[in-house]
Amino acid sequence: MRDALQEEISEERALGRAVSRTFALYGYEEVGLPAFEYLDVISRGLGHVGPELLLRFVEPETGHIVALRPDMTPQVARLIASRWPDAPRPLRLSYLGNVLRRRPERARHDIEVVQCGIELVGDEGLEADLEVISATLGAVRAAGLKDFVVDLAHGGIAHGLLSGVSGELRAALLADLARKDQSRVASRAERGGLERELVRTLAALPELQGGVEVIERARALPGFAPALPFVLELSRLGERVARAEDGPRVVFDLGETRPVPYYTGMMFQVLAEGPGQAVASGGRYDELYARFGVPRAAAGAAVNIDHLAWAVSLGRKEPPPRLRVLVFGAAEAPTNDEGQKGLATLRAQGIPAAPLFRATSRADALEYARLGNYSFVAEMSGGASVVLYRTSTQAEVARGTFEQVAQFIVARSRAGDPAFGALHG
């Protein structure tokens, strides 16, 4: 868990709005989901989740076990099954909220994650997969991310190769593949009595990462036939993603096995410099909705707002300016009638403004403004008249009535003057 200061909160909300607006432009309608969810809903969607990985407790009124949600996709499935089973297909829904995930490896992993995601429910095939990826890429671009890679994988590859393997051995091998541990994969597969060709193919999976050349390398493996249809499907999807306008660089990871167990088809990640983890990820999960009694093909994605903020910040030379005005008067308090009217005038124009109750001089006010992250100081000079000073340079930039100063700030902000930042709202 972590706290966040004003700069982080402002950026998080701005990025969340940018991502949500883009999803809305693709036809996705936002739904609200509770922070707590019944454990049986989570288990139905994610399979067995160990108690050490959930923050859970007994709901006092009913005695049911509830948990802070680790994933929103099962919640959307529960919502559709219980409240909208006859919804038109395809159904396009979006969400914005926090999920909480306890992980065995704590280093560099936040437990609380802010997500903005989409669910395309009731449609399948290449075009539906492409829509989910396109909407996600449009969202991260709208938020300011320019340089990124799309990593494509398929949930059917490893599962197809292991279709004839028993449950316990199968689960262990999938876990080894998720860790990219080739030696452990090979030794476990050999001890499990798997055929030599299959052992070689499984051990080679973690190396099948890169451009289109990995498709041919996979096809050449003698034991790869059960997974070949999934690889060809992934190859077609990669071609379409790369051919799109402003198409990103596409790489393939044929050995990827996502820790979320419900993926059955294509999987993708948006990778960018900075966070060391995916900025966004998603995939296809055609079997999930049947667990809730409403069989539907489905695909979706979620943007990690914290990771997006990190990646976007690396592309900026300096943080975006914040517009805040501190109002003070050396001879008269900003809490008098004229000061209150002036504060209201600034705020009515979308200019954040606060009074400084005690200041003996302009120098004191400017020092407080510097420490308090106020970009401008408005000094009352008698009645409704003020003089506006820039905090960083301490230079006068405008003078007049509060109304005239407000209009000046609005004009400079809308003209894109970087010293004035953006208006509120």
Same domain, 141 and 259: yes
- Output the pLDDT for position 287: 92
* DSSP state at residue 10: H
- Helical axes 6-25 vs 126-142, angle rounded to 10°: 140
Residues 308 and 340 in one domain: no
CB of 291 within 8 A of CB of 266?
no
Do 103 and 216 lie in one domain? The reply is: yes
**What is the pLDDT, as a whole number, of residue 143?**
94
| Cβ proximity of 326 and 405 under 8 Å | no
Domain boundary, last residue among 314, 334, 366: 314
- How confident is the model at residue 423, as a pLDDT? 84
Residue 319, in any domain of the structure: no
Q: Are 414 and 422 in contact (CB under 8 A)?
A: no
In a domain, 421, yes or no: no
Please report whether residue 217 resides in a domain. yes
* In-domain check, residue 225: yes
Q: Which of 268, 290, 314 is the last residue of a domain?
A: 314
What is the per-residue pLDDT for 411? 95
- Predicted pLDDT at 56: 83
Dihedral over alpha carbons 292, 293, 297, 302 (to 10 degrees) = -20
Query: What is the model's pLDDT at position 425?
Result: 65
| Strand order from edge to edge, sheet including 112-121 | 29-30, 91-100, 112-121, 298-304, 280-284, 266-271, 149-154, 249-253, 209-210
On whether both 216 and 131 belong to a single domain, the answer is yes
Q: Which domain-ending residue is among 269, 286, 314?
A: 314
How far apart are the C-alpha atoms of 35 and 196, rounded to whole Å? 48
Residue-wise pLDDT tens for the chain (425 aa)? 677 777 778 788 889 999 999 999 999 999 999 998 888 898 888 877 776 678 888 888 888 888 888 899 999 999 999 999 998 999 999 999 999 877 655 454 557 889 999 999 999 999 999 999 999 999 999 999 999 999 999 988 988 888 888 878 988 888 888 888 888 989 998 998 888 888 888 888 888 999 999 998 988 888 888 889 999 999 999 999 999 878 899 999 998 876 557 888 999 999 999 988 899 999 999 999 999 999 999 999 999 999 999 999 886 656 556 899 999 987 777 778 888 999 999 999 999 999 998 777 899 999 999 988 899 999 998 777 899 999 999 999 999 999 999 999 999 999 988 888 888 76
- Please indicate, yes or no, whether residues 15 and 99 belong to a single structural domain of this protein: yes
Residues 17 and 102 in one domain: yes
Q: Say whether both 299 and 355 belong to one domain.
A: no
Q: What is the per-residue pLDDT for 125? A: 94
**Torsion region of 108: left, alpha or beta (phi above 0 gives left; psi -120 to 50 gives alpha):** left
- CATH number of 374's domain: 3.40.50.800
pLDDT of residue 270: 97
Cβ(118)–Cβ(136) under 8 Å?
Answer: yes
Phi, psi of 338 (to 5 degrees): -65, -40
C-alpha to C-alpha distance for 218 and 301, rounded to whole angstroms: 27
Report yes or no on 422 lying in a domain.
no
User: Strand 56-58 and strand 65-68: pairing?
Assistant: antiparallel
Q: What is the pLDDT of residue 224?
A: 86
Pair 147, 227 in one domain: yes
For residue 366, the enclosing domain spans 325-414
Q: Which pLDDT value is given to residue 320?
A: 58
The answer to whether position 146 is within a domain reads yes
Rounded Cα distance between 180 and 173, Å, is 10
For residue 95, the model assigns a pLDDT of 96
Q: Do 268 and 370 lie in a common domain?
A: no
Give dist(CA 67, CA 101) in Å, integer: 11
Number of domains in the chain: 2
The pLDDT of residue 249: 94
If asked whether residues 160 and 187 sit together in one domain, one would say yes
291 and 346 belong to one structural domain: no
CATH number of the domain that residue 280 is part of? 3.30.930.10
Looking at residue 128, its pLDDT comes to 97
397 lies in a domain?
yes
Looking at residue 387, its pLDDT comes to 95
Distance of alpha carbon 401 from alpha carbon 349, whole angstroms: 14
Domain assignment present for residue 17? The answer is yes
132 with 61, same domain? yes
